[in-house]
């Protein structure tokens, strides 16, 4: 159980930078690298994921007493897939261009590990309000990361931003290739770490690990210490 005394709003703000799902916990790498060739695709993908994340976190938190522990993962996936199908239909109808640009990756939101991770680590242990805020924070953090990466890759790799052409004749096209995606991701992570003044741990141990709440070993150690 996470600390219920923390102000509710921190559940929202922590996902933006401090525990940013893409840049700090490194979840959801597949869409991060695949759809960020344009800034607008990054925003579209991020907002679609945010919507799914808020809905699934809310529903799973509300149903946490109903879902038996042994079948919780299949149940989570069914709930997530329902919302993904829902947003897919909406986007196909109202934003066909974005729907085509995202292609397969839209359906793959179902297996995005940010969503399953938040469901397992947070929503299934916390209240509905906190879970919804956690989903919104993580979703917007994901959107922010995708938008930054998409902007860098689009500006350097295609000489445009949000579809506005700058008239550059020879863009550095490696930025929109997969290799360039990895370069940009690494550098953005490095900059975020620098800004967050996070130093690499001298020894690898559980404290400070962003995945600590997921980790059985850490929980056991903590309980052993408390008793």
Partner 1 sequence: MNGLTVAPSPHRSTKLSTSMIMLNVVIALLPSAVAGTVIFGARAALVLLVCIASCVIFEALTRKLMKKEQTISDLSAVVTGLLLGMNLPSSIPIWMAVIGSFVAIVIVKQLFGGIGQNFANPAIVGRIVMMLSFTAFMSSWPVPFWYKLGADVVTGATPLAAGAGSISYIDLFLGNCGGCIGEVCSIALLAGGLYLMAARIISPAAPAAFIGTVALMTLITGGDVLFQILSGGLFLGAFFMATDYATTPLTNKGKVIFGIGCGLITFVIRNYGNYPEGVSFSILIMNLLTPYIDRLTQLTPLGAKKPAAKEA
Q: Which residues bind partner 1 (CB under 8 A)?
A: 170, 172-175, 177, 179, 183
Nearer Cβ to partner 1 (85/173): 173
Nearer Cβ to partner 1 (177/206): 177
Site of tokens 């929980």: 219
The distance of closest approach from Cβ of residue 97 to partner 1 in the complex, given in angstroms and rounded to an integer, is 27
The distance of closest approach from Cβ of residue 181 to partner 1 in the complex, given in angstroms and rounded to an integer, is 13
- From residue 157, how far is each of 105, 169, 183, 187, 191 by CA, in Å? 21, 11, 12, 16, 20
Nearer Cβ to partner 1 (51/175): 175
The distance of closest approach from Cβ of residue 190 to partner 1 in the complex, given in angstroms and rounded to an integer, is 9
Nearer Cβ to partner 1 (119/192): 192
Q: How, if at all, do strands 160-161 and 164-165 pair?
A: antiparallel
Nearer Cβ to partner 1 (200/208): 200
The distance of closest approach from Cβ of residue 154 to partner 1 in the complex, given in angstroms and rounded to an integer, is 15
The distance of closest approach from Cβ of residue 220 to partner 1 in the complex, given in angstroms and rounded to an integer, is 35
The distance of closest approach from Cβ of residue 178 to partner 1 in the complex, given in angstroms and rounded to an integer, is 11
As a whole number of angstroms, the distance between CA 136 and CA 61 comes to 14
Nearer Cβ to partner 1 (165/170): 170
């Amino acid at each position: 159980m996470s600390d219920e005394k923390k102000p509710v709003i921190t559940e929202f703000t922590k996902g933006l930078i401090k525990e940013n799902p893409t840049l700090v916990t490194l979840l959801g790498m597949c869409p991060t690298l695949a759809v960020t060739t344009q800034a607008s695709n990054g925003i579209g993908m991020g907002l679609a994921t945010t919507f799914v994340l808020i809905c699934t976190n809310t529903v799973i938190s509300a149903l946490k007493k109903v879902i038996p522990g042994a079948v919780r993962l299949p149940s989570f996936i069914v709930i997530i897939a329902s919302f993904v199908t829902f947003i897919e239909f909406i986007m196909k109808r109202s934003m066909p261009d974005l729907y085509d640009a995202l292609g397969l990756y839209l359906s793959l939101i179902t297996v995005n590990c940010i969503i399953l991770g938040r469901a397992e680590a947070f929503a299934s242990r916390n209240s509905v309000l906190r879970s919804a805020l956690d989903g919104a924070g993580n979703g917007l953090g994901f959107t922010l990361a995708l938008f930054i990466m998409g902007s860098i890759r689009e500006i350097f790799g295609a000489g445009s931003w949000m579809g506005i052409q700058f008239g550059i004749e020879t863009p550095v096209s490696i930025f929109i290739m997969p290799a360039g995606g990895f370069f940009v991701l690494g550098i953005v992570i490095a900059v975020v770490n620098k800004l967050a003044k996070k130093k690499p741990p001298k020894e690898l141990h559980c404290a400070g690990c962003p995945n600590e709440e997921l980790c059985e070993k850490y929980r056991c150690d903590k309980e052993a210490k408390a008793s």
